[in-house]
A and B are shown apart, each in its own frame.
Chain A
Amino acid sequence: MIPTHWFLILSAVLFAIGVCGVLTRKNGITIFMSIELMVNAVNLTFVAYARQFHQLHGIIFVFFIMAIAAAEAAVGLAIFISLFHHRETIDVDEANLMRW
C-alpha cells in the first residue's frame, strides 16, 4: 500500500499549480480550469484520508463535490457566454463590474 502522505503531497502540488494559474492568467476560462484543478486536488486529499481512517464520509463528500462542480461549471460557463455576448471578451481584467 502506498503511504497516505504521498497522495497528500501530490494533492498539495496540484493545488499550488491551480493557485498559480488563478493568480497569473487573464483568460477567464483558464482561471476556471485552474479552479477545477484545485477542487480535484482537494478531492484527492479527501479520498486519501478516507482510506487512512477507514471512513466512508470522505468518499461521500467527494461525490457531493463532484455534483457541485458540475453545477458550478454549468453556471460559470453560462456567465462567460453572457459576458462574451456583451463585451466580446472573456479577459477578466475587462470584466470588473458586477453589472452593466
Chain B
Amino acid sequence: MIEFIVFFAFAAVAIIFALVVILHRNPVVSVLSLVASFFSLAVMYVLLEAPFLAVLQVIIYAGAIMVLFLFVIMLLNLQHREEPATRPVQQFLGYTGAAVFGIALVYYIAKYAVLKLPGTPFLSDARRVGISLFQAYVLPFEAVSILLLAAIVGALVLSGRGAVAQ
C-alpha cells in the first residue's frame, strides 16, 4: 500500500516539474525543475528494484549533467534574456500534436501492454550489473569510454573560441 502512495506522489512530482521545465520562461527555473523531475525518476528506479540505477540517476543526471546546464546558462548570462514568442500556429500545432501523441501512447499502453507481474522480485544491484558489465558487455563498455574521451576533446575544440585554429 505504501509503495502505491509513493508511486503516485512522485509520479505527480515528476509530471508537474516536467511541465514547469517546458512552460517556464526562465531557463534557470527550468533546469532546477528538471533536477526535481530526475530525483522523482530516481525514486521510480528504487520502486522498480534497481537501486544502482537510482544512485546513478542522482549522481550523473541530477548531479553532473544538470550542473553542466546550469553553468552554461549562467556563463552565457541567459537568465535575464527575454525569449521571443513562438508563432501562434507553431504553438497550437506543437501543443495539440504532443497532446494527441501522448494520449494515443497512453491509450495503446493501457490497451495492449498490461502484463501480468512476475511473482518473484528481480533485484538488479551494483554487484550483478558490474559482473554483467565486465563479462558480457566489456566491449561496449570500452567503446563508451572512448566515446567519452571523444566528447571531452570535441567539447574543448568547439568551445575554445578559435584558440585551436591559431
Give residues in A with beta carbon < 8 Å to B. 1-10, 12-21, 23-27, 29-30, 32-34, 36-37, 40, 43-44, 47-48, 50-54, 56, 59-60, 62-64, 66-75, 77-82, 84-85, 90-91
Cα distance, A39 to B155, chains bound together (Å):
21
Cα distance, A56 to B84, chains bound together (Å):
46
Interface centre among B18, B144, B150, B161 (most CB of A within 10 A): B18
Once the chains bind, are B3 and A2 in contact (CB under 8 Å)? Answer: yes
Total residues of chain B contacting the partner, CB 8 A: 82
Once the chains bind, are A75 and B155 in contact (CB under 8 Å)? Answer: yes
Cα distance, A40 to B66, chains bound together (Å):
13
For A34, give the chain B residue with the smallest CB separation.
B22
Known: A8-B113, A20-B98, A71-B151. A15 touches B34 (CB 8 A): no
Give residues in B with beta carbon < 8 Å to A. 3-4, 7, 11, 14-15, 18-19, 21-22, 27, 30-31, 34, 37-38, 41, 44-45, 47-50, 52-53, 56-57, 60-61, 64-65, 68-69, 72-73, 75-76, 78, 83-84, 86, 90-91, 93-95, 97-99, 101-102, 105-106, 109-110, 113-115, 117-118, 120-122, 124, 128-129, 132-133, 137, 140, 144, 147-148, 150-152, 154-156, 158-159, 161
Cα distance, A61 to B75, chains bound together (Å):
33
Cα distance, A15 to B38, chains bound together (Å):
13
A16, A62, A79, A85: the one within 8 Å of B53 (CB)? A62
Once the chains bind, are A40 and B21 in contact (CB under 8 Å)? Answer: no
A10, A73, A75, A90: the one within 8 Å of B69 (CB)? A73
Q: Chain B contacts of A20 at CB under 8 A?
A: 22, 94-95, 98-99
Once the chains bind, are B27 and A30 in contact (CB under 8 Å)? Answer: yes
Once the chains bind, are B148 and A71 in contact (CB under 8 Å)? Answer: yes
Once the chains bind, are A13 and B68 in contact (CB under 8 Å)? Answer: no
Once the chains bind, are A2 and B47 in contact (CB under 8 Å)? Answer: yes
Q: Chain A contacts of B118 at CB under 8 A?
A: 51-54
B34, B75, B159: the one within 8 Å of A36 (CB)? B34
20 additional A-B residue pairs with CB within 8 Å, beyond A30-B83, A54-B122: A13-B106, A14-B15, A14-B37, A23-B95, A27-B27, A29-B69, A43-B41, A51-B122, A56-B124, A59-B129, A68-B147, A69-B60, A70-B64, A71-B150, A73-B68, A77-B72, A78-B155, A80-B76, A81-B158, A82-B158
